Amino acid sequence: MAHDILVVEDENAIRGMLAFNLRRADFEVREAADSQAARKAIGQRLPDLAIIDWMLPDGSGLDLTRWIKRTPETRDVAIIMVTARSQEQDKIAGLSSGADDYVTKPFSSRELLARITAVLRRSQRGGEEVITRGCLTLNPQSHRVTSDHGALALGPTEFRLLRLFMERPERVFSRAQLLDRVWGPAVFVEERTVDVHIRRLRQAMEPHGAAGYIQTVRGAGYRFSLN
Binding site for Ca ion (CB under 5 A): 10, 53, 55
Asked if 36 and 1 touch (Cβ cutoff 8 Å), the reply is: no
> To the nearest whole angstrom, how small is the minimum distance from the Cβ of residue 57 to Ca ion?
8
Considering the complex, state which of residue 9 and residue 158 has its C-beta at the smaller distance from Ca ion.
9
Beta carbon of residue 60, minimum distance to Ca ion (angstroms, whole number): 10
Compare residues 99 and 201 and give the one whose CB is closer to Ca ion: 99
Nearer to Ca ion, 65 or 225 (CB): 65
Bridge partner residues of 30 (DSSP):
6
According to DSSP, the β-strands at 28-32 and 4-8 are parallel
Q: How far apart are CA 46 and CA 41, in angstroms?
A: 8
Taking the C-alpha atoms of residue 80 and residue 76, their distance in angstroms, rounded to an integer, is 13
Shortest CB 102 distance to Ca ion, Å: 15
Asked if residue 23 lies in contact with residue 45, where contact means CB atoms within 8 angstroms, the answer is no
For residue 62, the minimal CB distance to Ca ion (Å) is 12
Q: Which is nearer to Ca ion, 19 or 145 (CB)?
A: 19
CA-based torsion, 82, 85, 90, 91: positive or negative: positive
Q: Whole-number minimum distance, CB 79 to Ca ion, in Å?
A: 15
Q: Which of 107, 29, 99 is nearest to 64 (CA)?
A: 99
Contacts 24+ apart (CB under 8 A), 141-149: 147/208, 147/209, 147/210, 148/208, 149/207, 149/208, 149/209
- In the complex, the smallest distance separating the C-beta of residue 14 from Ca ion, rounded to whole angstroms, is 8
Nearer to Ca ion (CB atom), residue 10 or residue 76 = 10
Q: For Ca ion, which is the closer residue by CB, 33 or 194?
A: 33
